[in-house]
Amino acid sequence: MSKFVYIFSFAVIPLYGYTLHEIATGGYPLSMFDGKNVGLGYISIVVTDADNPACYDSISAVVINLQLHQITEERKVKVYNEFEDYVGEATRAIRDELHTVPMPLGINLYKHGVSFDFKVSPKYVFDYEFKLPMYDDYYLIRGWQIESSTGMVISYSAMLGVRVWPTLYVGIGGSYLKGDWQHAKMWRPSYEGSEPWDTSTSGKLQGINFTFGICIKPSFRWTIGGIWKISTLKDTLFDYPQFTYGVGIGYRPANILPAYFVAEVLTHQGKHREWEYHMGVEHELMPSFLLRAGFAWLSAAKDERLSKGIYTAGIGYRGAFCEIDVGISFWCRKYSAYLVDVEGFDKIDESMFSVIFTIKKELP
212 neighbors 227 (Cβ within 8 angstroms): yes
Residues 6+ away with beta carbon under 8 Å from 238: 25, 26, 27
289: alpha, beta or left? (left if phi > 0; alpha if psi -120 to 50): beta
pLDDT of residue 340: 46
36 backbone dihedrals φ, ψ, rounded to 5°: -65, -50
In tens, the pLDDT along 279-307 reads 999 998 888 999 999 999 998 877 777 78
Residues 6+ away with beta carbon under 8 Å from 53: 115, 117, 159, 160, 161, 171, 172, 173, 211, 213
In tens, the pLDDT along 318-348 reads 988 888 999 999 988 877 765 444 455 567 7
Domain boundaries, the chain: 11-76+97-121+155-172+213-362
Cβ neighbour number for residue 340 with a 10 Å cutoff = 18
Question: Which of 109, 153, 3, 65 lies closest to 361, judged by CA?
Answer: 65
CA distance 215 to 89: 52
Residues 6+ away with beta carbon under 8 Å from 107: 6, 7, 8, 117, 118, 119
Average pLDDT over residues 127-134: 74
137 backbone dihedrals φ, ψ, rounded to 5°: -65, -20
294 neighbors 39 (Cβ within 8 angstroms): yes
Cβ neighbour number for residue 28 with a 10 Å cutoff = 19
pLDDT of residue 109: 80
pLDDT of residue 217: 94
Residues 6+ away with beta carbon under 8 Å from 358: 34, 35, 36, 63, 64, 65, 66, 323, 324, 325, 326, 327
pLDDT of residue 95: 61
Three-state SS at 310: strand
pLDDT of residue 83: 64
Fold adopted by 11-76+97-121+155-172+213-362:
Porin (2.40.160)
More confident position, 241 or 281: 281
Expressed in angstroms, the distance from the first to the final Cα of the chain is 9
Least confident of 82-86, 157-161, 218-222: 82-86
Average pLDDT over residues 123-139: 74
Is pTM beyond 0.85 here? no
CA distance 109 to 161: 10
61 neighbors 109 (Cβ within 8 angstroms): no
Q: What are residue 176's DSSP bridge partners? A: 156, 208
Distances from the Cα of 178 to the Cα of 101, 189, 212, 317, angstroms: 17, 36, 21, 37
Question: Which of 15, 18, 26, 20 lies closest to 301, judged by CA?
Answer: 26
pLDDT at 15 over 70: no
Give the HSE-up count for residue 320: Cα atoms under 13 Å, Cβ half-sphere. 0
Reported as a pLDDT band with limits 50, 70 and 90, residue 144 is: confident
